[in-house]
Amino acid sequence: MINIIGSGLSGLSASITLARKGVACNLFSVQESERAQSVMAEGGINAALDVMGEDDDLLAHYEDTMKGGAYLADPNAVYGLCSEAPKIVNWLKELGVPFEMKNGKMIQRNFGGQKKKRTAYVKSSTGKMLMSALIDEARKYEMKGLIRRFCHHKVLDLIIEEESCKGLVAKDEYTGKSETISGAVILCCGGLTGLFVGRTTGSNDNSGQLVSNLFIQGLKMGNLEMIQYHPTTINIGDKRLLISEAARGEGGRLMTYRNGEPYYFMEELYPIEKNLTTRDVATRAIYKIRNDKDCSGDVYLDLTGIDRKIIEERLSDMREELLDYFGIDLCEEPFKVEPGIHYFMGGVLVDEKHATNISNLYAAGECACQYHGANRLGGNSLLGAIYGGRVAAENIEDPDLSDHKETNFNSDECSPLFNEKLASILCEGLGIIRNKQTMEKALNDLEQLKKEDLNKAEENKIILAMAMLESALNRKESRGGHYREDHPESDENYRKTSVASYDNKIVIGLKDIPERRAQ
Ligand SMILES: Cc1cc2nc3c(=O)[nH]c(=O)nc-3n(C[C@H](O)[C@H](O)[C@H](O)COP(=O)(O)OP(=O)(O)OC[C@H]3O[C@@H](n4cnc5c(N)ncnc54)[C@H](O)[C@@H]3O)c2cc1C
C-alpha cells in the first residue's frame, strides 16, 4: 500500500494516478480535500493551448517558465511539465471544470511574466473548481477501495531506517490515537507556510512540521531561500488576503501618489511588461516606491478603468470578497495593497521523477522543490501540483516494507507563541530585500530562541528555519525571489540549486542544474 500525505491537488492527482493503475493507496490529510489550500487558488492554470490566436506553443511556455525562474529550475522537468500542460487542462475540462468559454471556445488570460495569454481560468475560483473535479474523480476509486481516505489524520512522522522510508505514524485528530502504517510515501503536504504564520496567503494547516522532522532525519531540501512575495495582498486577521494577478491580467494598474498626483509607476519603470512583470520584480518595485520620499508611502491597485462587463464576467468573486470584507467596491475606487509571502519555490529536493534522497519517499506539489526555480510564474503551480503528483505516482514502487522496527516518533506540536516568535524572526531575515547583517541577526535571534524551554517539534522547526537562512547567506548573489542588497547582481557561478542537509549540523551545498536533453 502506498501512503500519500496531503489531499490537495498534488495528493489527489497522485492518488487518482495510482488508482488508475490498480494500485491502492491511503490518503491522509489534516482536513478534508475541500479545505486544502488548493481550493484557494484563484487566477488560473497555465497551458499553451493556443486558443487566443497568439501563436502560443510548448517552447514559449517552457522559455517563460525557465526565464521566470531565473534559469534555476531543472530544464528537463520543466519541459515535461509544459508539454503535458495542454493534455492536463483538456483532461480537467473532460472532468467537468467549467473553464471560461466564449463562442464555444476556451479563453485564456494574461498572467505575469508570460508573453502570451496562457492561463485557463474559472472566474476567480479556479482552485475550487479544479478541486471539485478531482475530488469527484477520486470518489469513483474510493468506491472501489483503491483510495482509502484518512481525513483529520495528521501525519506526525515517518519511519525511516537506513535511509529508507518504511511507513508513517498518523494521529487521528478526533480520537487522539496514533497508528503506525507501513508502505512507501508520497509527500504532498503543501508549502512551508507554518514557518511564517500570520504573514502568508496560504493555509496554516501546512505547518511545515513534518518536513522539519524529516530534515533532521536526513531528508535533503532544495532552494530554501527562494520565497515568493506576491505584490498584491491585504492584511486580514491572522493571514493575508490575496488579490490575484488576474486583476492585473485584466487591466488593473499599480499606482501611488507622487507629489500629490496619481503615479502609475510600473508603466514608467517597465514600459514593455508594465503591470505584468514577474512577481519578484513587481514586489521589489513596490518596496522601493513605498520608501521613495517623493511618493505617498502607500501603493494602490486601480481597477476603475476596467469595463464593468469584464469585472462581472471574470472578477466578480474578487469584487464580492472586497465588498464583504472591507466595504471596498473595486469598480469605484483604487484600494491599498502590500506584498505578502505567497509561495515557496524551495522545499523537499526531488529528482525529475520526484524521488527524494530517501528511498521509497517521493514528494510533489508545493512541498517539493521542482519546476519554479528562483521564482514561480502565476498559474504554474496548479499545473505543477497535478503534473508532479502524477509523475511521483507513476514512478514510485510498492514494495513490502512491513519489516520495520517499532519506532520512537515525535508527537510534539509547536505552541502558537513559539510560531509567532519564529515567524517574526524569519521575516526580518528573509524579507523582500536581504543582506548579510539582517540574515546573521536572524540566525543569532534563532540561537537565542533555541535556549528557551522548547519541545522537540520546536527545536526541529528552528533547525529548518536556520537552514533557510544559511541557504540565503550562502547564495551571494541576487536571483528571482532572493534579492541581496549586498550582492545585487546575478552571478553565473551561483546558477545552481542550493542543497541543505542535516547531520548533527546544517550543511549547505550547491548542485549543478542538469543540461537540457535533446527532445
Ligand atoms: C490564495 C492563493 C491563491 C493561489 N492562486 C493560484 C493560482 O491562481 N494559480 C496557481 O497555479 N497557483 C495558485 N496558488 C498556489 C497553489 O494553489 C498551490 O501551490 C497548490 O494548490 C498547492 O497544492 P498542494 O497539493 O501542493 O498542497 P495543498 O493544496 O496546500 O494541500 C496540502 C495538503 O497537505 C495536508 N497536510 C499538511 N500537513 C500534513 C500532515 N502533517 N499530515 C497530513 N496531512 C497534511 C493538508 O491537510 C492538505 O490536504 C495560490 C495559492 C494561494 C494561497
Decide if 92 contacts 226 (C-beta within 8 A): no
Neighbouring CB atoms inside 10 A of 175's CB total 9
Find, among 491, 464, 498, the residue nearest to 476 by Cα: 491
Q: Give the distance (Å) from ligand 1 centre to CA of residue 38.
A: 4
Phi/psi of residue 503, nearest 5 degrees = -145, 80
| Calpha distance 153→169 (Å, rounded) | 10
Q: Give the distance (Å) from ligand 1 centre to CA of residue 389.
A: 12
C-alpha 222: how far from chain center? 14
| Calpha distance 287→152 (Å, rounded) | 40
Under 8 Å CB-to-CB from 34, ≥6 apart: which residues?
Answer: 131, 135
Q: What is the dihedral of CA 106, 110, 111, 117, to 10 degrees?
A: 60
User: What is the per-residue pLDDT across 34-62, written as a single tens digit (0 to 9) for each?
Assistant: 999 999 998 899 999 999 999 999 999 99
| Calpha distance 229→25 (Å, rounded) | 35
Neighbouring CB atoms inside 10 A of 507's CB total 13
Ligand 1: which atom is nearest the Cα of residue 202? 53
Q: Give the distance (Å) from ligand 1 centre to CA of residue 394.
A: 21
Protein residue whose Cα sits closest to atom 3 of ligand 1 = 41
Q: Give the distance (Å) from ligand 1 centre to CA of residue 190.
A: 5
Find, among 243, 251, 255, 259, the residue nearest to 286 by Cα: 255
Q: Give the distance (Å) from ligand 1 centre to CA of residue 217.
A: 24
Q: Which residues are catalytic?
A: 279
Ligand 1: which atom is nearest the Cα of residue 189? 34
Model confidence band, residue 406 (pLDDT cutoffs 50, 70, 90): low
| Calpha distance 333→277 (Å, rounded) | 23
Decide if 75 contacts 61 (C-beta within 8 A): no
**Which protein residues are within 6 Å of ligand 1, measured from CB?**
5-11, 28-31, 36-38, 40-45, 126-127, 154-155, 188-190, 201-203, 205-207, 210, 242, 244, 343, 365-367, 378-382, 385
| Calpha distance 353→283 (Å, rounded) | 32
Phi/psi of residue 48, nearest 5 degrees = -80, 80
Protein residue whose Cα sits closest to atom 14 of ligand 1 = 41
Phi/psi of residue 333, nearest 5 degrees = -150, 145
Model confidence band, residue 401 (pLDDT cutoffs 50, 70, 90): confident
Decide if 256 contacts 298 (C-beta within 8 A): yes
| Calpha distance 220→200 (Å, rounded) | 24
User: What is the per-residue pLDDT across 154-199, written as a single tens digit (0 to 9) for each?
Assistant: 999 999 999 999 999 999 999 999 999 999 999 999 999 999 999 9
Find, among 433, 12, 450, the residue nearest to 229 by Cα: 433
Model confidence band, residue 104 (pLDDT cutoffs 50, 70, 90): confident
Q: What is the dihedral of CA 178, 11, 512, 502, to 10 degrees?
A: -10
Q: Could you tell which of 29, 37, 123, 212 is best to mutate to test the pocket of ligand 1, judged by most ligand atoms within 8 Å of the CB?
A: 37
pLDDT at 370: 97
C-alpha cell of residue 55 = 501563436
Percentage of the chain beyond pLDDT 70 is 100
- The C-alpha cell 501603493 sits at 299
pTM for the predicted model, two decimal places: 0.96
- Mean predicted confidence (pLDDT) in 442-462: 97
C-alpha cell of residue 427 = 521575516
